[in-house]
Amino acid sequence: MENKISSEICIKCAECCKNYPFVVLSQHDIFELEKKTALPFDAFTNQKGGAVEVYFLDFKKNGECIFLNENNGDYSCNVYEARPAICRKYPGKKSQDEVCDSNRKRIQQSGVGLTQLA
């Protein structure tokens, strides 16, 4: 599995991959993740009961996505190419844009290991 995140700012932040507990997975998302990881869907999902089965991406006990890696303050995604649609669309809401803008400014001001700004 290739570890990848597209933006240098995202590599330093990855807040969208932390404490975001309700990442709904479509059947297509599940299929792509199974194909990418060679894991059965129940290894990376939580199921919400009810008349219609709804699956959420599983998270580590610390609140991070199970596919998020950290190495010396840099973050990467083990399933970047097969990440769920909700991850591909992030940030897609005004509140998410505000979080990204705030974190971008914080990271730029700190200058922590940035060679170019995204």
Indicate the domain borders of the chain: 8-110
Question: Tell me: the pLDDT tens digits for 45-74?
Answer: 987 766 567 899 999 999 999 999 998 888
- Band of residue 36 on the pLDDT scale cut at 50, 70, 90: very high
The Cα-based distances of 71 to 30, 61, 76, 77, 94 in angstroms read 27, 18, 8, 11, 30
What pLDDT is stored for residue 4 in this prediction?
Answer: 55
Per-position DSSP letters for 27-93, written without gaps between them: HHHHHHHHHHH---GGGTEEEEPSSS-EEEE-B-TTSBBTTEEEETTEEEETTGGG--HHHHH-S-S
Give me the pLDDT at residue 116, please: 45
Question: Can you give the pLDDT at residue 101?
Answer: 82
pTM over 0.85: no
